[in-house]
Amino acid sequence: MRFVSASVKKDLARWWQDSTAILIWLGIPFLIGGLITSMIAGQNGGTPTGVLLIADQDDSVLSGLVAGAYAQDQLGELISVEQVTLDEGEKRIASGDASGFLTIPAGFQDAFLNESPVTLTLKTNPSQIILPGIIQDVTEILLDLGFYAQQLLGDEIARIQSADLNDQPDDVFVSGIAVDIQNKLQSVAPKLFPPIIDIEIVEPPPTEAQPDMALLFLPGVILMAILFSANGLAADYWLERDTGTLRRLVSAPGMLSSFVAGKAIAALVIMGLIAGITLSVGFAYHGVSWTKFTSSLIWVSFAGVGFFAWFAALQMLFSNRRTASLVSSIFLFPLLMAGGSFFPLAALPEWIAAIGRLSPNGFVADKLTNELTAASAWSIDSYYWFIMFAMTISGLAICSWRLKTGFARR
């Protein structure tokens, strides 16, 4: 036990001297996680709004109604209408400062009432897709409404235009126009009401609240830091061999197993430190209940020791340190891809997520996700705890066996 304690202190002292490596193991995941979180936060900024510039050169009642139609009801929440001059509108739409620019020419109202051709010019922003499309659709609907209003009430409009309205119109004229309009509306009402298509609004069934997408990235980012650390710490066996430490331990019975146990405990301390920092930042940022902190920390820390053991066992298979480091680094990045460090498993199609959960870090990240999003702490089933501890113990056993069967004697 004294040798194990001395081994732990020795490893921690040596690893702490290389604090730059620990900062790198933490820094890369924090950088990637921060970029991902900022991108996701930028996509959740609420309802997008567009700006429609209108150059009303007619300045009539009808052109005012057209401009006001874009700001009605829910459409007004999507589109902000600004009255501009023709030159200002051209400059702003050319610089991408608006979603659309509508020009209403002079004489628009007279042309509409006289059924003369008139052109409304709409320019849209090509760098936007949805909002310019909405503006164009609304403009086309307004033109269609104007056309059908002319077809339905064209005679009445013509009578009003031809009448001498300099003085106040007499009651007979007004009532005659009103009756004619009412009769036409009544004639078309059976064709419009009730509508041919019935719309039934059905409330969707209640669904469980989906976790924040940025929170789903957190387990993968934490496992990224753990895997970087495990791979880096595993190379320490080669350093111990190159300095002759392992050759001296071979002649001492039982010392190799104690040596492995000491390294495992020291690795547990480093993994706990890294997991504690990343979890603390994640819990604080995402507002995760701190009652889940202890269970998450234990789960990640012991899993990190397992990764450390298996990376060490992998590196002991090769004849020199450079090859061992290269192969383990090459093996590391597919693990990160498959295990959800760049794409959270919970957001992937189920068949892809199922493959990802078969990887060791994918298994750990998936259970950590369940723990973070569960209603209460310690939600990871005891069966999965057994699998994680079995992975860790078996990796350490292989390391001990590999030291005894030749690696330490080279």
DSSP 292: G
Find residue 102's DSSP bridge partners. 54, 122
pLDDT for the residue numbered 80: 87
pLDDT of residue 104: 92
Q: What are phi and psi of 22, to 5 degrees?
A: -65, -40
Give the pLDDT confidence score for residue 152 in this predicted structure.
79
Q: If residue 268 lies in a helix (H) or strand (E), which one and from where to where?
A: helix 255-286
Q: What pLDDT does 297 receive? A: 95
Cα gap 18→1, rounded to integer Å: 26
d(CA 289, CA 281) in angstroms, rounded, equals 13
Q: What is the CATH number of domain 51-180?
A: 3.40.1710
According to DSSP, the β-strands at 50-56 and 100-104 are: parallel
Pairing outcome for strands 121-124 and 79-83: unpaired
| Spatial distance between the Cα atoms of 104 and 146, rounded to a whole number of angstroms | 14
- Please name which of 308, 376, 372 lies closest in space to residue 346, comparing C-alpha atoms: 372
Q: Which amino acid is at 300?
A: V
What's the DSSP call for residue 107?
A: T
- Report strand pairing: 50-56 vs 79-83: parallel
CA distance 231 to 226: 9
Q: What global pTM score does this model have? A: 0.64
* Phi/psi-derived region of residue 333, left when phi > 0, alpha when psi is between -120 and 50, beta in every other case: alpha
- Residue type (1 letter), 326: L
pLDDT tens for the chain, 410 residues long, are 788 888 888 888 888 887 888 888 888 888 887 777 776 655 555 566 789 999 999 988 888 888 888 878 777 778 888 999 999 999 999 998 999 999 999 988 888 888 888 888 999 998 888 888 889 998 898 888 888 877 777 777 777 767 666 666 666 777 777 777 778 777 777 776 666 677 777 777 766 656 677 788 889 999 999 999 999 999 888 888 888 888 787 776 667 788 889 999 999 999 999 999 999 999 998 889 999 999 999 999 999 999 999 999 999 988 888 888 888 888 888 888 888 888 888 777 888 888 889 999 999 999 999 999 888 899 999 999 999 999 999 999 999 888 888 787 66
Determine the distance from the C-alpha atom of residue 91 to the mean position of all C-alpha atoms in its chain, rounded to a whole number: 35
Q: Which residues contact 234 (CB under 8 A, 6 or more apart)?
A: 308, 309, 311, 312, 314, 315, 328
| Most distant CA atoms of the chain, gap in Å | 123
How is residue 364 written in tokens?
Answer: 């750990």
* Residue spans per domain, the chain: 2-38+212-409, 51-180
Q: What's the pLDDT score for residue 375?
A: 86
Q: How many CB atoms lie within 10 A of CB 305?
A: 29
370 membership: H or E segment, kind and range: helix 360-373
Asked if 256 and 250 touch (Cβ cutoff 8 Å), the reply is yes
pLDDT of residue 46: 55
Looking at residue 205, its pLDDT comes to: 72
